[in-house]
Amino acid sequence: MMRNRKGGFGSCTDGKGPACPVEFTLDVIGGKWKGVLLYHMMDSAKRFNEFRRICPGITQRMLTLQLRELEEDGVVHREVYHQVPPKVEYSLTEFGTTLIPIIKLMRDWGLEYQAMQQTTGSQSLGVEG
Amino acid sequence: MMRNRKGGFGSCTDGKGPACPVEFTLDVIGGKWKGVLLYHMMDSAKRFNEFRRICPGITQRMLTLQLRELEEDGVVHREVYHQVPPKVEYSLTEFGTTLIPIIKLMRDWGLEYQAMQQTTGSQSLGVEG
DNA sequence: TTATGTAGTATACAAAATGATACTAAGGAG
DNA sequence: CTCCTTAGTATCATTTTGTATACTACATAA
């Protein structure tokens, strides 16, 4: 029970709906790398190894898994060019573009408070006071 | 290496800044329950067992852990009332309220496409075509 | 004395997510 | 033949997340 990916029944019912809508959204973009991948696809289609260069921290395995999940969720399109060496491009689907406002807000928030963290010394970026 | 929580160096540098801003944001709100907890704190301060009632899926341990992390990040304030039986209230800090726009967008997106999922039969909620 | 309620902590374990490393296929260059 | 490239797989190890259960402190109620 308590299935995480695509279970349907969230866990947090609260009477406001079938499951918590925020939980539903985080199911799609909440993976460790998904937001980042979507963020970089906003500009233009990206190839597998392009992501690897952009995010040196992600392993091949995780990149594959996260892209596959995004594909399953219908937010990312995978275009295979039958060439050698292989070429595969990932881009947002029409549905995927509905996530852009969220990604942009997350980018903006990150830009603002990431800077703050550097300034204050990376402790509790809080406003406190 | 590759420290996940509060390490500072993200992993995704890409030349656009110290680390990917989206990744930074997801570090704060990306935990499995964090978005949901923040979402419910938007309305009003909540007590420990209130969260447990609202999200029956979360265990005491996880609730404690996630709330502690949100507190560490300075987005949640923990107010202890010295009473018996104990009373502890969790609410957004001033800094935490800066996340509200994101949470609201995530809620709206969830509300819209959660409904779609029910209609289409929970397959690939995609628009496809 | 025992039971009740709150907000936890402690311990042990299970499952899921993530990471590290090595390996594959296929065609072209040398 | 070997090496190079891309886009992955396969296998195993580790970390994170989640579950289950028992336990605490304190005041009040019965």
pLDDT digits (tens, 9 = 90+) for A46-55: 999 999 999 9
Q: Which of A22, A101, A110 sits opposite B25 (nearest CB)?
A: A110
pLDDT of residue B120: 64
Give the mean model confidence (pLDDT) for residues A80-95: 94
What percentage of chain B carries pLDDT values higher than 90?
Answer: 57
Select from A116, A1, A106 the least CA-distant residue to B95: A116
The residue that leads in pLDDT, B106 or B10, is B106
pLDDT of residue B15: 38
Q: For all residues of chain B together, what is the average pLDDT?
A: 81
pLDDT of residue B11: 52
Select from A34, A106, A113 the least CA-distant residue to A68: A34
Provide the whole-model pTM.
0.86
Indicate if the alpha-carbon torsion angle B73, B54, B65, A27 is positive or negative.
negative
Select from A72, A25, A70 the least CA-distant residue to A51: A70
pLDDT of residue A108: 96
Taking only the tens place, the pLDDT of each residue in A7-53 is 433 455 543 334 789 988 988 998 889 999 999 999 999 999 999 99
Protein CB footprint (7 Å) on chain C nucleotides: 5-12, 16-22, 25-28
Q: Quick one: which H or E segment has residue A126?
A: none
Give the mean model confidence (pLDDT) for residues B28-46: 92
Q: Which of A39, A126, A128 sits opposite B22 (nearest CB)?
A: A39
Asked if pLDDT for residue B101 goes beyond 80, the answer is yes
* Interface-testing mutation among A106, A107, A120, A128, with chain B (most B C-beta atoms within 10 A): A106
Give the mean model confidence (pLDDT) for residues A71-77: 96
Tell me the C-alpha distance between A97 and A99, whole Å.
Answer: 5
Q: For all residues of chain A together, what is the average pLDDT?
A: 82
pLDDT of residue B108: 96
Residue of chain A nearest B7, judged by CA positions: A122
Any bridge partners for residue A92, and if so which?
A76
pLDDT of residue A19: 72
Indicate if the alpha-carbon torsion angle B122, A4, A109, A57 is positive or negative.
negative
Residues of chain A in contact with residue B23, where contact means CB-CB under 8 angstroms, are 33, 35-36, 110
The residue that leads in pLDDT, A91 or B126, is A91
Select from B111, B89, B87, B103 the least CA-distant residue to B42: B103
Asked if pLDDT for residue B58 goes beyond 80, the answer is yes
> Is there a contact between B93 and A126 (Cβ–Cβ < 8 Å)?
yes
Residues of chain A in contact with residue B39, where contact means CB-CB under 8 angstroms, are 20, 22
Tell me the C-alpha distance between B77 and B111, whole Å.
Answer: 28
pLDDT of residue A30: 87
The confidence band for B56, taking pLDDT boundaries of 50, 70 and 90, is confident
pLDDT of residue A73: 94
Measuring alpha carbon to C1', the residue closest to nucleotide C10 is B61
pLDDT of residue B12: 60
Give the mean model confidence (pLDDT) for residues B82-87: 90
pLDDT of residue B78: 95
Asked if pLDDT for residue B2 goes beyond 80, the answer is no
* Span CA (A112) to C1' (D16), Å: 28
Asked if pLDDT for residue B1 goes beyond 50, the answer is no
Residues of chain A in contact with residue B124, where contact means CB-CB under 8 angstroms, are 72-74
Q: Which of A24, A33, A105 sits opposite B102 (nearest CB)?
A: A105
Residues of chain B in contact with residue A2, where contact means CB-CB under 8 angstroms, are 57
The residue that leads in pLDDT, B128 or B49, is B49
DSSP letter for A105, please. H
Give the mean model confidence (pLDDT) for residues B71-92: 94
